[in-house]
Amino acid sequence: MEISNNKINEILKKEYTLKYHDKSELIDVVWPDFVEVEGCIVIKKNTENSIEINIEHIIHQFGDRTGFEASESHVHMIDISNTFEKHPLEGLKFAKKLLEMWSTKLKIDFPEYEFILILTYHDDDTILRFHRLRESEEIWININNIEEFEEGIIIRKV
């Protein structure tokens, strides 16, 4: 439940210009708009009014919907902040929190689906990605052999 008073509603209606952006890009990373298109869950970019994909092309290029989602629905921490480029471990800490937030948001938006979230850390960058878990498709990454990966890895099923 959320309630608000008239004062805050009037303040929110006022037009104003933000100093840096129309919309905080960080908010879109932390709490993204996840959308379903052709059975695929992807992150809606704030510049997109709608998302259209050619599913036949997707299957041909990525092998299946899972491969497409894992490739399309990811974020590099060094793309979020220059700080994470200079201090990669700070990016890893941020990504761990982001993993928790995306897990929650995906379950709120799509409670009927299960997801695999994958956090990888290698030398200078952390990447967070996800895909929907499907009975008809393999998981994008072999979760039974995570010790064999060169990267540090966290896999979460929600």
SS3 labels along the chain: CCCCCHHHHHHHHCCCCCCCCCCCHHHHHHCCEEEEECCEEEEECCCCCCCCCCHHHHHHHHCCHHHHHHHHCEEEHHHCCHHHHHCHHHHHHHHHHHHHHHHHHHHHHCCCCCEEEEEEEECCEEEEEEEECCCCCCCCCCHHHHHHCCCEEEEEEC
Q: What is the pTM of this model?
A: 0.78
More confident residue, 25 or 141: 141
User: What is the domain range of residue 67?
Assistant: 21-157
| Mean pLDDT along residues 36-57 | 78
The answer as to whether 141 is a domain residue is yes
The pLDDT value recorded for residue 12 is 63
The answer as to whether 1 is a domain residue is no
The answer as to whether 2 is a domain residue is no
The answer as to whether 13 is a domain residue is no
Domain count for the chain, please give it: 1
